[in-house]
Amino acid sequence: MTQARISWIDDEPPVRLSSGTTWGVPFQRNTVQDAAALTVLDPNGKAVPAQAWPLATWPDGSLKWAGIALGATDHPAPHYDVTTQPPATYDAGPAAAVVTSTEVTVTETEQSVTVNTGTVEMVLYRTGPSLFSELRRDGEVVARDGKLVSLLQRGVQEGAGSTTRDAFTGHTTSITVEQHGPVRAVIRIEGQHRADAGERQWLPFSVRFYFYAGARNVRMMHSFIWDGDADQDFLAGLGVQFTIPLASELHDRHIRIAGADGGFLVEAVRGLTGLRRDPGEAVRAAQMAGQPTPPLSQWSPLVSERLHLIPSWNDYTLAQLMADGFELRKRTASGHGWVGISGGTRSAGFSSISDPRGGFGVGVRDFWQSHPGQLDIRDAATDNATMTAWLYSPEAQPMDLRFYHDGLGQNTFEDQLEALEITYEDYEPGFGNPRGIARTHELTLFAYDSTPSTESLAADAQAASAPPVLQPSPSYLHSAGVFGDWDPVDRSTPARAALEDKLDFLFDFYQGQTEQRRWYGFWNYGDVMHTYDSDRHVWRYDVGGYAWDNSELSPDLWLWYMYLRTGRADVFRFAEAMTRHTGEVDVYHLGPWRGLGSRHNVQHWGCSAKQLRISTPAYRRFYYYLTADERTGDLLTELVDSDQNFLGLDPVRKVRPDADTYRPDRGALGVGLGTDWGSLAATWLTDWERTGNPRSRDRLLGTMADIGALKYGFLTGEALYDLDKGRFDVGREAISVSHLSAVFGLVEICSELVSLVPDAAFERAWMQYCRLFLASPQEQAEEVGQPLAGIYLTQAHSRLTAYAAAKLGSAGLASLAWESFAEGGENLNHAEAFTLKKILPPYVLQPVDEAPTVSTNDTAQFGLAVIQNLALIGAHLPSATGAPLEVPAS
């Protein structure tokens, strides 16, 4: 029997689970054959309605990962068990008090798709300008005509002059029912924005709606691709708009808008409090509670006879134009002045309008973090109000994606390589182009049968901002044998505890830097900076290749392994934000570079190095498997044929030794055996596990065999790849080693492949690489005839030696690995690196902490080396390597 304990990562269950939830769970090889065999049990051992489906299989066909969904409940359990043991009893009724027995139903016609959770129902048309036509709660329409809207501004005006903005609406071109229920249904919509006046189309989008049994909420995932001309097209607004029918008296229409720290604006369209004359305590209390006011006959006539003289507030706006501030205001009607309500710091990004009959609310996840955002309510005093959740505020400066400099005369490869020596920027004319980057937002739509209490709305806003997450424990994930070499946290010795302290320090430092340095914004949130400037006390945000990190040297991997080991909620959400960002913004999703990512730069898309090492699934597969997230699945699917990119763009075109003779040829493409093949292997492995695709399987296994057949294996550096056959030419006998080859996921993927697929020659090639990389020049020359050049990042590569030590049972190699780890990280091998220094104004804009020798390259590879070395050769850890960490008070 297989059994996995699943718990909430925030330790406590949510007050209620009004939207349902989904997570992923792995299983040991050859223990589960079919997701249909899985049962979810509550703490009493009773089965609860659940839906399970395969996410990945082992090579023998057994289930490796399953996605599992639970429906909505007002009484979520503190934990659940996923098991293959049939339950002794099945009880989904009141006694179980866990999950409603209601099922999601999906009804399809030629014109529409209708989904019913048992509480809410949404009708979606297959084509047209609306995402959905109606959203009903218990049969009552609470919202209509949900649609995407955008504003395009042609050019920007500085100084005197004017500009015009054109309105666009998203048009649905196709709908796909991805899941039918019974517990979870997923509907995917695709389309483009079309001009309301004119023929222009742009901004292709995909929207998924998620429905759970019994849920009164609908989760919405919106992704779009920016496909404009950066020099001419300026996005001036991007939002989701809804129409809310209203019929109650104006004083029974309730406005609720979330501010900061759990606060709410609580008002009615026509307010009855604070008047010169009192309508009566019962009237005021009812309005503030969101309940129907008593009949007019029970009011003071001094008010009931003068209702027409009390202003009605038709329009409300909350604008969050920066991470630290929002403004809230209202007006009586268009054409009249706005009245300021208040301001604040960080709005939760939630608003609702309702009356005793029902209402509608929307919550935008990461609202202030992804500024500029805005929430609008319009026409609240009419029969049809509108609510717009602006993902990019029309009150902000229009989105300017132009490249940030004029090229500085870098017209040749020689000029560009020279610039690398001063700003570390790999520039090339025309390559700093954002066309094809993407962005994803998550929203929650709330359907109400009346005006909820303010406390209930605050819980809804919190759930939209930080959805509850169920996950297996680190010990269970480890026991399943997934993701290679790692162990749960072990502080059993002072040396181990000291290294764990350093891992915690580095994560906490980056989490703190995100806040102190305000690494937020529409295109930035989720990424971190690359290198620090201790003179200015800032990260090098404006210096070429030292600014945004764009996955350089695998911080994504470090964060996900950190989560696997700890199960920490803050680590999970930090890694989640990075995965969302790096998979969307740093990668091209259409155009000639589709499937490639951009190297680190002042702008995420600015570098001319467009490479698979950034787009690699090695960074995204963790999140996909742990959460069953379909959008991440899209990103993985986009890369399935990414080997085609070598035909169109040579990633080493500027530094290729044979540049005079090499031309991309589909039968002989130069593919590096490090970052290039590691990314392809991650792509093929992930696709094979997910889909069973024979193309991916054959290319993975074939190229593994070819690497094993090369005389010098991985040391060859590059091999010629036949795009049609998916195989390498094994005749090359060169030796070429790069310090970057193994630090973009190759170590992790090769470790998995060796344990996953029996190929003795490939394993020998990988073991040779691991043994020799940090061996002495004499040992290298004895084995391959020459010492290896390009040996850098010693601390990072200590895990290669550790891998060889563990496989060979060699205490000598284990000792060498720990020595290399201690000596090789020149920026992180001293106590000062783990000491925070507080810098205060006037020398900085605001108080900040700095650790001047810490960089993201070093941090990511230090973290991975600690994690993998402890898992592989932790028994050989010398006490000195783990000297206690002392962090003095700032």
DSSP H or E run through 115: strand 112-116
pLDDT level of residue 890 (50, 70, 90 thresholds): very low
pLDDT level of residue 551 (50, 70, 90 thresholds): very high
C-alpha 17/C-alpha 459 separation (Å) is 10
**Cβ neighbours for 246, distance < 8 A, ≥ 6 positions apart:** 253, 353, 355, 380, 382, 383, 384, 385
Residue pLDDT, tens place only, 107-140: 999 999 999 999 999 999 999 999 999 999 999 9
Instruction: Tell me what pLDDT residue 826 has.
Output: 81
C-alpha 754/C-alpha 744 separation (Å) is 18
In degrees rounded to 5, what are phi and psi of residue 276?
Answer: -65, -35
18-42 mean pLDDT: 97
Instruction: Tell me what pLDDT residue 686 has.
Output: 98
Residue 429 one-letter amino acid:
P
Residue 166 has pLDDT above 90, yes or no: yes
pLDDT level of residue 86 (50, 70, 90 thresholds): confident
C-alpha 755/C-alpha 360 separation (Å) is 52
**Cβ neighbours for 12, distance < 8 A, ≥ 6 positions apart:** 78
C-alpha 866/C-alpha 872 separation (Å) is 10
Is the N-terminal amide bond of 182 cis, ω within 30° of 0?
yes
C-alpha 364/C-alpha 442 separation (Å) is 6
The answer to whether residues 525 and 515 touch, using CB atoms and an 8 Å cutoff, is no
Residue 276 one-letter amino acid:
R
Instruction: Tell me what pLDDT residue 319 has.
Output: 98
DSSP 883: P
Looking at the DSSP assignment, which residues form a beta bridge with residue 149? Answer: 169, 239
Reported pTM: 0.96
Residue pLDDT, tens place only, 475-488: 999 999 999 999 99
Residue pLDDT, tens place only, 185-230: 999 999 999 999 999 999 999 999 999 999 999 999 999 999 999 9
In degrees rounded to 5, what are phi and psi of residue 338?
Answer: -80, 145
**Cβ neighbours for 364, distance < 8 A, ≥ 6 positions apart:** 349, 350, 373, 375, 389, 391, 441, 442, 443, 464
Q: Where are the domains of the chain?
A: 3-83, 271-310
Instruction: Give the ranges where 91-188 is alpha helix by DSSP (H).
Output: none
Residue 887 has pLDDT above 70, yes or no: no
Mean pLDDT of the chain: 95
Write down the residue that tokens 């803050």 correspond to. 570
Residue pLDDT, tens place only, 299-313: 999 999 999 999 999
CB atoms within 10 A of CB 433: 21
Instruction: Tell me what pLDDT residue 89 has.
Output: 45
In degrees rounded to 5, what are phi and psi of residue 177?
Answer: -85, 105
725-746 mean pLDDT: 98
Instruction: Tell me what pLDDT residue 12 has.
Output: 94
Instruction: Tell me what pLDDT residue 158 has.
Output: 85
Instruction: At 882, list the tokens.
Output: 């783990």
Residue pLDDT, tens place only, 682-702: 999 999 999 999 999 999 999
Residue pLDDT, tens place only, 565-587: 999 999 999 999 999 999 999 99
Write down the residue that tokens 């080997």 correspond to. 643
Residue pLDDT, tens place only, 373-389: 999 999 999 999 999 99
Instruction: Tell me what pLDDT residue 87 has.
Output: 64
C-alpha 269/C-alpha 379 separation (Å) is 10
Instruction: Tell me what pLDDT residue 578 has.
Output: 98
Buried b (16+ CB within 10 A) or exposed e, 760-775: eebbebbbbbbbbbbb
Residue 289, helix vs strand vs coil: helix
SS (H, E, C) 324-362: CEEEEEEECCCCCCCEEEEEECCCCCEEEEEECCEEEEE
Residue pLDDT, tens place only, 709-723: 999 999 999 999 999
Residue 660 one-letter amino acid:
D
The answer to whether residues 719 and 710 touch, using CB atoms and an 8 Å cutoff, is yes
The answer to whether residues 489 and 500 touch, using CB atoms and an 8 Å cutoff, is yes
Residue pLDDT, tens place only, 417-444: 999 999 999 999 999 999 999 999 999 9
Q: Which pairs with CB-CB distance under 8 Å and at least 24 residues apart come from 561-564?
A: 561/483, 561/486, 561/863, 561/864, 561/867, 562/503, 562/507, 562/863, 562/867, 563/622, 564/474, 564/477, 564/478, 564/483, 564/486, 564/622
